[in-house]
Amino acid sequence: MNRGIVMGEVWATRKAQSLEGRKLALVALCDTHGPTSEVVVAIDTLDARVGDAVLISYGSGARNVLSAGQDNQLILADAAISEIIDGRA
């Protein structure tokens, strides 16, 4: 998983049907110093807001955020916000 900061959002009407109703968050990946220039698009089901520090899961981890279980192969998600981080030591 990666730690990231929510920076904004993407809106699209022409898209894969199973992205319908999904919020696409723009998340800048962090290194130990803070947000880097690399930005990923992650599906957000936790309604994170701009500025929130979050954890992003990839691949089957992302699919489990949306629909946990074995038969979620065709869930269209390769990155999803799995946690909104409260604090960091």
Partner 1 sequence: MFVGRVMGHVWSTVKWDKLEGLRFLLVRPHRLDDLRRLSGLPANAPVPSHEGVVVADVLGAGPGEDVVVAYGHAARAGLEELKPGGPAPAYPIDAAVVAIVDRLAVSELDAE
- The residues binding partner 1 (CB under 8 A) are 5, 7-19, 24, 26, 28, 35-42, 50-51, 59-60, 62-63, 73-79
Phi, psi of 62 (to 5 degrees): -65, -40
| Min separation Cβ 38 and partner 1, Å | 7
Closest approach, Cβ 50 to partner 1, in A, equals 5
Query: DSSP letter at 52?
Result: -
* Smallest separation (angstroms) from partner 1 to the CB of 24: 7
Q: What is the DSSP letter of 18?
A: G
Please, which residues have CB within 8 angstroms of residue 35's CB and are 6 or more apart in sequence?
Answer: 4, 5, 7, 28, 29
Positive or negative, the CA dihedral 67, 63, 1, 78 is negative
Name the residue nearer to partner 1 (CB basis): 1 or 7: 7
For residue 83, the minimal CB distance to partner 1 (Å) is: 18
- Is the Cβ of residue 20 or residue 32 nearer to partner 1 in the bound state? 20
